[in-house]
Amino acid sequence: MKVALILMMLLSSSFGLEEDKQKHIGATAAISLFTSVVVSQYDYTPTEVFWISLGTALAVGLAKELTDDEFSGGDLAADALGGTLGAIPMFVIYKW
């Protein structure tokens, strides 16, 4: 799990993204990955685990954006990317 987080953070920085976007990707990836690990312990399908994890990460990202002085669609897009990257490992593990 730590390897997946480190890989996600390295990938986000290697594409020349702003530091703020990297933080959004890393934070929501961690939230999504943690959520998927917890939710996978219950009676959910891999697809449900994926969507619950992604939804949780997006909800946190949206809540953060709504509390900022200025709403940023770019930050929300970075949150979506991070949430997706965080949800994929458990989906792949439990799907196959």
Q: Encode pLDDT of 9-37 as tens digits.
A: 555 554 677 889 989 999 999 999 999 99
Query: What is residue 10's predicted lDDT score, i.e. its pLDDT?
Result: 59
Ranking 2-11, 21-30, 55-64, 76-85 by mean pLDDT, the lowest is 2-11
Please check whether residue 61 is in contact with residue 28, taking contact to mean a CB–CB distance below 8 angstroms. Answer: yes
Q: How far is residue 47's CA from residue 90's CA, in Å, rounded to a whole number?
A: 10
Tokens of residue 37, six digits: 């690990």
State how many domains the chain has. Answer: 1
> What is the residue range of 85's domain?
2-95
Q: Please tell me the least confidently modeled range out of 37-51, 63-77, 82-96.
A: 82-96
- Kindly report the pTM of this predicted structure: 0.81
